Amino acid sequence: MFTAHKLKNGARVVQAPFGGTEAATIIVLFKVGSRDEDLKVWGGSHFIEHLMFKGTKRRPETVDISRELDQYGAEFNAYTGKDLTAYYVKIEASKLPVAVDLLHDMLFHSVYDAKEMTKEKKVITEEIKMYEENPIMHLEDLLEEAMFDGHTLGRNIAGTAKSILDMKRDHVIAYRDRFYVPENMVIVVSGKVPDNMMTELEKTFGKVKPGTRPVFEDMYLPRTQKGTSVRRQMKPLEQIQVALGFPVPGRGHDDSYAYRLLGSILGGTMSSRLFIEVREKRGLCYTVRASVDQYDDVGVFSIRAGLDAKRLPLAAKTILAELKKIAKDGATPKELKTAKENWRGAMTLRLEDSSDRAEFYGRQELFEGKVETLDERLKRVDAVTVAQVKRVAKEVLDLSKMSLAAIGPYKTDAELMKAFGIR
C-alpha cells in the first residue's frame, strides 16, 4: 500500500512501505527533461543531472558524495529522460536518513563550480560519442528524431558536443531554478520505511523555498506530411539495427493498456509473433521486439530488430507481413490472455524491489497527479478486450504513418526504403 502527502512547501510525497526487506529507496523526481529545453540549454537537463554529483558546500568534491554512500554499500544514480529527471539512493533502511540528507544537499546546495562544469562538459561529449558509436543505443535517438522532426521531442537528450561546449553557466542556473522547485517535485520512499519519515523530509526537503510551478506549453502536434520519415546512419556493419515507429496517443489515454498488450503479443516475449516468425522460423535476427513509450501528449509504438544486413529485404517483408496480419485480424483470445498474464507476472516480480516500486509510484504522481496500486492497474489490464486490441492494431499499425530508423551499411535513404518495399 501507499500513502500520499505534501510537505509544507508543496512538494508531493508518496510513502510505499512493505515487509520482507531491510532495504529502503528514496527517489526524487522532477518533471523536466530535454523536451523543455531551448537551444541555449540543449542537453541542459542531462548536464544538470551530472552536476548534482560534483560537490556541495558541505561535501565539496564528488568523492565526498560517493564515499559517504559507498561506506554503506548503497546503490545510487540518476537519469534524465525527455520529460523527467530522477535521483535515487537504495540503502539499508537504518541508514535512510543519510540518503535523505545527502540527496537534499545535492539537489539544492550544489555549487556548480565553473571549473568542474568545464571538466564535466568534456565527460558528456565523450558520453555522446559513446552513444552515437553504439548502434543499439543510438537507434532510439534516430527513431524519435524521425518521428518528431522539428519538435524538441526529436532532439537527443544529451544534446550535441557543440551545444554542451557552448552552454553558459548562468543559462544552466536559470534553467535549473525554473524547474527545481517543490511544486515540480515528487519524493517517494519505498521498502522498510521508518515511522518518522515525514519528519525527516520536512527537516530537509521541506526547508526548500516554494517557487512557481512551471507551465508546460510545448505540446506536440501530429505531423501532417505524408510518407515515411527516415533517419539513417551509415556504418559498414554486417548487422543492421532497424526500428519502425508509429505514433500513439499520450499516457492516460483509454487505450494505453491495449497498446501495451498489443506490443507484448507482437514482440514482447520470446514466444511473441515477431520473435517466432523472424528469429525462430527464419533465423533472420538475434533480437526483435515491440514496445510502447508514452509522453503526456504523444507516444511511440516501436518495433526494433538487429538483422542480417544482407537479408534485410526478407526480414522487412516478414515484419511488415506480421504487422498487416494483426492489423487486419487482431489477436486471438489465447494470445491476449497470455499477454495479460505476462504483464501481471512481470509487474509483480518487478515490484518486489524497493527501487522499482518507488519509481512505479513516483512516475504516476509526477505525470498523472494520482497514484494507483498494482491491483488497480491490473484491473485496467484485465478489462482490455480482443475487440479493443483489434481496433487499436488497425489504428496504430498504419504503414502510411510509419517512421523508419536504421544503422548499418545502407548508403542512401532510397536504398533503405527499397529494402522495405517503400516508394
Tell me the pLDDT tens digit for each residue of 107-155.
Answer: 999 999 999 999 999 999 999 999 999 999 999 999 999 999 989 999 9
The SS3 of residue 204 is coil
Among 212, 173, 185, smallest CA distance to 40 is for 173
Structure confidence at residue 218 (pLDDT): 73
Q: From CA 89, how far away is CA 98, in angstroms rounded? A: 10
Contact between 354 and 360 under an 8 Å Cβ cutoff? The reply is no
Whole-number Cα distances in Å, 290 to 30, 262, 296, 374? 28, 9, 20, 23
**Rounded to whole angstroms, what are the CA distances from 228 to 96, 204, 215, 358?**
51, 51, 33, 39
Distance CA 421, CA 423 (A): 7
What residue ranges of the chain are covered by domains with CATH 3.30.830.10? 3-207, 229-419
> Helix (H) and strand (E) counts for the chain?
16, 11
Domain made up of 3-207: CATH architecture: 2-Layer Sandwich (3.30)
**Residue for grid cell 544482407:** 310
Active-site residues, by number, are: 49
What pLDDT shows up at residue 227?
81
> What's the confidence (pLDDT) of residue 221?
78
Map grid coordinates 518518522 to a residue.
196
DSSP for 280-291, please give it: ITT--EEEEEEE
In terms of Cβ atoms closer than 10 Å to its own Cβ (0-12, 13-18, 19+), residue 203 is middle
| Separation of alpha carbons 267 and 263, rounded Å | 6
Q: Could you say which residues of the chain have pLDDT below 70?
A: 224-225
- CATH code: domain 229-419 is 3.30.830.10
Contact 56, 109 (CB under 8 A): yes
pLDDT of residue 220: 83
Predicted local confidence at residue 36, as pLDDT:
96
Grid coordinates standing for 65? Answer: 558524495
- Please report where in the chains the cell 536518513 appears, as a residue: 97
- Beta-sheet pairing, 12-17 with 185-191: parallel
Diameter over CA atoms, the chain? 64
- Tally Cβ neighbours within 10 Å of residue 114: 9
Q: In this predicted structure, what is the pLDDT of residue 225?
A: 67
Query: Of 230, 50, 229, 238, which Cα lies nearest the Cα of 127?
Result: 50
Residue 215: what pLDDT? 86
Residue 224's pLDDT is 66
